[in-house]
Amino acid sequence: MKQVEEKEEASVYQRVVLKNASPYHYLKVRLVLEDESTRLSAVELKYFIITGLKSLYGEVGAALNFDVLKYDEDTLTAFLRVYSRSLVKLWSSLTLLGSYQNKACAFRVLQVSRFDPRSSLIIRIFSEVIHS
């Protein structure tokens, strides 16, 4: 299974595009805020990402379908699922989203994969075999 991971120390970034793969892409992101004490609910997080899409890509971007599959409020880590065609738009708007309620913030994209990273390794290999 090919996973594209961003590593701090590696200078080479490789994006592999496979045809006939699953229609979704999964992103694991963490929101890093200036003051550690603010908490967001899942709905607030989704709305925040939609405002980012709207400022960069307009009404058409804000209408992109993406889902927050799993959200951990304490670490502000979320699993997002998006259609593969919209991945570039979503990822670029996460990168350029800089402030939450007038305070600096950043989205760290920890993992991007084509198959659901929540499921176990066996199920992932199985689904890769089905899709290829």
Partner 1 sequence: MVRLKSRYLLCEVNVSDRSQLLLLDDRAIMVAVKAAVARTHGDYGAAMCSIRFCVKYLNAHTGIVFLRFPKSCYKLLWSALPFITSVETRGQKIPCFLNCLHVGGTIRTCQKFLIRYNTQQLHRMLPKCKSEEEKRQVRKAILSCSLTESKEAFEEDSESEEEEEEEE
Contacts of 118 (CB under 8 A, 6+ apart): 69, 70, 79
Fill in the per-residue mask, 41 to 80: x = in contact with partner 1 (CB under 8 A), - = not in contact. ------------xxxxxxxxx-------------------
Cβ distance to partner 1 smaller for residue 76 or 94: 94
DSSP letter (8 states) at residue 82: E
Residue with Cβ nearer partner 1 (57 or 71): 57
Provide, rounded to whole angstroms, the least separation between the CB of residue 66 and partner 1: 16
Contact 78, 71 (CB under 8 A): yes
What single-letter DSSP state applies at residue 9? S
Judge whether 89 and 61 are in contact, CB under 8 Å: yes
Min dist CB 50 to partner 1, Å, is: 12
Binding site for partner 1 (CB under 8 A): 53-61
